[in-house]
Amino acid sequence: MVDSAAQLFPSESYLCARVNPEGTKNWNTSVEATQLAIENGVTVLAYPSFYGMDLMCDIHYLQKNKSGSWKAFIVKSSTKISDNSKENATFQLHTLREAGLKISHFYVLTINTKYNRSEKIDYHQLFKKTDVLPTLNKLENELKSTLKELRKTLKLETSPDLPIGEYCLSPYSCEFKSKCWKHVPENSVFNLRRVSRETKFKWWNSGVKTIDELKHSKFEAGSLLSETQAEEYVDHESLTEFMSHIQFPILFLDFEGYLPALPPFPGVKPFQIIPFLFAAYKCESIDGSLTFHSYIGTPKQDPRRQFADALIEICAASETILVYDPMTEKQVIRGLIREYPELANDLDSILNKIIDLAKPIANKHFYLPAMKGLSSMKHVLPAVDPTNSYKSLSVQSGRAASQLYQILCDDQHDKNEKLELDNLVEYCKMDVYGLVQVYNAFLKALDRPVISTN
């Protein structure tokens, strides 16, 4: 997104960043290149770097005004300006001022999600420009007193004796965590899920360090502990009722999509989900075999119409479509209906056949201790089938799949496209295999025959 924002400036920007041979930023040469560019009268600087007193910063863009002052720009691939962004920007503003620059405006560029791309991208519509200088001016005083404290700390002979706290984790995980958190035991209260950090530190600071200690403490954490340590549990009646809605032929289905900030095709909005891959196992009957099907787009091409056509074809003969937590799948199909109204009947029929296979787990009608209180497929698959996990795969999460596909859509990538597309299909295949295994686990729990996966 930062590179795209260069389109907002009337003249070409001069790239000031310099890198070391191993690819890391070389601050000295970057600062020198920035100074030289300013001396040579360059008016739009990309990634300029500055030293100001004992501080250093870089910024996405600077544009010189006729008066000699500068407009500063930072680009966010988000729709809102977070408090953290404002704090970072305050540091940049302060360093720029310490370096001798007069700043007339400090803009944060965020993404305008209402923008709908036409044939070409209109960058002035895509980015929303907010001048945060008045806010940063107020925050700068606070920053000055923080810097005073930090400078004092730097002069100390030994590191300050501070306990671990929420500041170790937020807004970023501290680089020194491996040193300062050495004394945190393996079964510490920090391992508990679905508990706020504030609560965990309250327990920790009161001396309750481990999950075992928590069990015998005054704190009421019973339901959390039972969730993480529960025995295998099956609510036969509820699970039987759920299974009664599932009819053969069954299709086990999973989608992958990506949400680019920069709309890649006409008619697409920023962060609109673009489906590029589905995997499916089809099973005609309980004693039938599984057949695998998939569709994956061709990077850089709009995959949506082919995806929709392939999906309709594969779903046509199925009575039930089993999806694990189908929020994304439903969102994608509704998007396809909006895009291709002529396919509405077929796509609506798919929506009507979808059953959420995660429901019995989410509703606690089926539980295995190996799920460790978690219900995502990444935790449920190894629990129902310990011989399989995502660890053996090159792509191990939906986020990684989406990032990889976006890389393949980039002209500059140096990946083996065929191999990586295969890796993506393998990842999605594991997700649908997990669906089959979860369905089989439900059948086993009800003492029914299962689908053969051999």
Segment 139 to 168, residues that bind ligand SF4, using CB under 6 A: 162, 164, 167-168
Shorter beta-carbon distance to ligand SF4: residue 183 or 216: 183
In the complex, the smallest distance separating the C-beta of residue 432 from ligand SF4, rounded to whole angstroms, is: 41
In the complex, the smallest distance separating the C-beta of residue 173 from ligand SF4, rounded to whole angstroms, is: 8
First-last CA distance in the chain: 46
Instruction: Put residue 325 in one of left, alpha, beta given phi > 0 → left and psi -120 to 50 → alpha.
Output: left
Segment 180 to 199, residues that bind ligand SF4, using CB under 6 A: 180
In the complex, the smallest distance separating the C-beta of residue 151 from ligand SF4, rounded to whole angstroms, is: 17
In the complex, the smallest distance separating the C-beta of residue 186 from ligand SF4, rounded to whole angstroms, is: 18
Shorter beta-carbon distance to ligand SF4: residue 102 or 177: 177
366: β partners? 234
In the complex, the smallest distance separating the C-beta of residue 150 from ligand SF4, rounded to whole angstroms, is: 12
Quick check: 329 and 364 in contact, CB under 8 A? no
Shorter beta-carbon distance to ligand SF4: residue 175 or 447: 175
In the complex, the smallest distance separating the C-beta of residue 172 from ligand SF4, rounded to whole angstroms, is: 10
| Residue 176 binds to ligand SF4 (criterion: CB under 6 A) | yes
Shorter beta-carbon distance to ligand SF4: residue 15 or 174: 174
Q: Out of 124, 144, 177, 334, which residue is the one contacting ligand SF4 (CB under 6 A)?
A: 177
In the complex, the smallest distance separating the C-beta of residue 179 from ligand SF4, rounded to whole angstroms, is: 7
In the complex, the smallest distance separating the C-beta of residue 5 from ligand SF4, rounded to whole angstroms, is: 32
Shorter beta-carbon distance to ligand SF4: residue 125 or 146: 146
Q: How far is residue 208's CA from residue 211's CA, in Å, rounded to a whole number?
A: 8
Shorter beta-carbon distance to ligand SF4: residue 154 or 387: 154
Shorter beta-carbon distance to ligand SF4: residue 2 or 180: 180
Two tokens, residue 164: 């671990």
Pick the closest to residue 337 from 320, 356, 351, 354 (CA basis): 351
Quick check: 78 and 47 in contact, CB under 8 A? no
Shorter beta-carbon distance to ligand SF4: residue 166 or 212: 166
Q: How far is residue 30's CA from residue 330's CA, in Å, rounded to a whole number?
A: 48
In the complex, the smallest distance separating the C-beta of residue 382 from ligand SF4, rounded to whole angstroms, is: 31
Shorter beta-carbon distance to ligand SF4: residue 164 or 355: 164
In the complex, the smallest distance separating the C-beta of residue 171 from ligand SF4, rounded to whole angstroms, is: 11
Cis peptide before 270 (omega within 30 of 0): no
Q: Name the segment binding ligand SF4 (CB under 6 A); options: 79-87, 175-183, 221-229, 278-286.
A: 175-183
Instruction: Put residue 194 in one of left, alpha, beta given phi > 0 → left and psi -120 to 50 → alpha.
Output: left
| Residue 374 binds to ligand SF4 (criterion: CB under 6 A) | no
Q: How far is residue 116's CA from residue 324's CA, in Å, rounded to a whole number?
A: 31
| Residue 174 binds to ligand SF4 (criterion: CB under 6 A) | yes
Shorter beta-carbon distance to ligand SF4: residue 68 or 160: 160
Quick check: 375 and 424 in contact, CB under 8 A? no
Q: Name the segment binding ligand SF4 (CB under 6 A); options: 23-31, 173-181, 360-368, 416-424.
A: 173-181
| Residue 248 binds to ligand SF4 (criterion: CB under 6 A) | no
Shorter beta-carbon distance to ligand SF4: residue 6 or 174: 174
Spacing of C-alpha 216 from chain mean position: 37
Q: Name the segment binding ligand SF4 (CB under 6 A); options: 149-157, 172-180, 362-370, 444-452.
A: 172-180
Spacing of C-alpha 193 from chain mean position: 19
Shorter beta-carbon distance to ligand SF4: residue 91 or 390: 91
Report how many residues bind ligand SF4 under the rule CB under 6 A. Answer: 8
Quick check: 108 and 130 in contact, CB under 8 A? yes
In the complex, the smallest distance separating the C-beta of residue 190 from ligand SF4, rounded to whole angstroms, is: 13
In the complex, the smallest distance separating the C-beta of residue 258 from ligand SF4, rounded to whole angstroms, is: 34
Q: Name the segment binding ligand SF4 (CB under 6 A); options: 171-179, 306-314, 408-416, 432-440.
A: 171-179
Residues that bind ligand SF4 in the complex, under the rule CB under 6 A: 162, 164, 167-168, 174, 176-177, 180
